[in-house]
Amino acid sequence: MATTLTPGEIAAIVADHERARATATPIRRVTHVHPDMTIDDAYAIQRAWVDLQVAGGSTIIGHKIGLTSRAMQQAMNIDEPDFGALLDYMAVDTGASLTAADYVDPKLEVELAFVLGDRIDSPDVTVADVIAATDYVTPALELIDARSYRRDPDDGITRTVCDTISDNAANAGVVTGARRVEPGSIDLRWVAAIMKRNGIVEETGVAAGVLGDPVLGIVWLARRLHGFGVALEPGQIILAGSFTRPVDCRAGDEFHVDFGELGVITLDFR
């Protein structure tokens, strides 16, 4: 697979996505204009958008993995996850209050975040390597958003994996909890969470929903990024992938997500 878009086309798409993010106004999916674009094109768009953020003063603080469940991969007609970048302005702590109108179509997913103590840069990363390189694991929520319409209001077509990847894999924020655990101290596959919105249970899940073991998400990402010449760096936050479906966020919503022994994350939208 190779890129098919010109640098000028990529720059125009990046500008559209950034305008959509800044104004919380959705745009048409990239594949509406470029139906034959490739996944390589999508990642080229994503990298150019991240470069724009960095040029504007933002800092890359980590990475997210998406589409880790079998059901989501089948829905997107792919056989591997996707990934995006986490930027400093996206990070908030538990207890934060966000403004729903700042986002196009915000939703929350339940995840685990791995915070690295050592660099990971190898095409042959193993589970043991990830555990050894991880400083701690903490509960997290990923705030996802869609700067292009999830379903086009004109033709009714839903966006593809290329559209999602172009849109920084739909990432808009990361909320981290207060409890930290060493990755080898518990069986991360059995970490469970109960998500309540306004006191009503909306989602429950077990971390094994992420590729059978959330550590495998980090393994996959490290290998995939190595192919782009990118390493996972000390101090970075790596979101391992969601083990619940996304839940809509609306003005007035209050979220309470109970991770059992790993504590609670709260978040509200005004």
Question: Tens digits of per-residue pLDDT, 37-69?
Answer: 999 999 999 999 999 999 999 999 999 998 776
- Cα R_g (the chain), whole angstroms: 18
pLDDT, tens digit (0-9, with 9 covering 90-100), for 204-214 = 999 999 989 99
Are 139 and 113 in contact by the 8 Å Cβ rule? The answer is yes
Are 240 and 114 in contact by the 8 Å Cβ rule? The answer is yes
Amino acid at 75: A
Q: Could you tell me the CA-to-CA distances from 204 to 90, 159, 200 in Å, in that order? A: 24, 26, 11
Confidence of residue 3 (pLDDT cuts 50, 70, 90): confident
Are 4 and 41 in contact by the 8 Å Cβ rule? The answer is yes
Is residue 72 scored above 80 in pLDDT?
no
First to last CA, the chain: 44
Angle value at C-alpha 253, between 251 and 256, nearest 5 degrees: 150
pLDDT, tens digit (0-9, with 9 covering 90-100), for 128-157 = 999 999 999 999 999 999 999 999 988 988
Sequence ranges of the domains in the chain: 7-269
- What CATH number belongs to 7-269? 3.90.850.10
Mean model confidence pLDDT for the chain: 94
- Give pLDDT, residue 12: 97
Is residue 201 scored above 80 in pLDDT?
yes
Helices (H), the chain: 7-23, 30-33, 39-55, 70-76, 127-133, 161-166, 214-226
Are 144 and 109 in contact by the 8 Å Cβ rule? The answer is yes
> What pTM was estimated for this model as a whole?
0.94
Best CA proximity match to 214, nearest among 198, 230, 196, 190: 190
- Give pLDDT, residue 79: 58
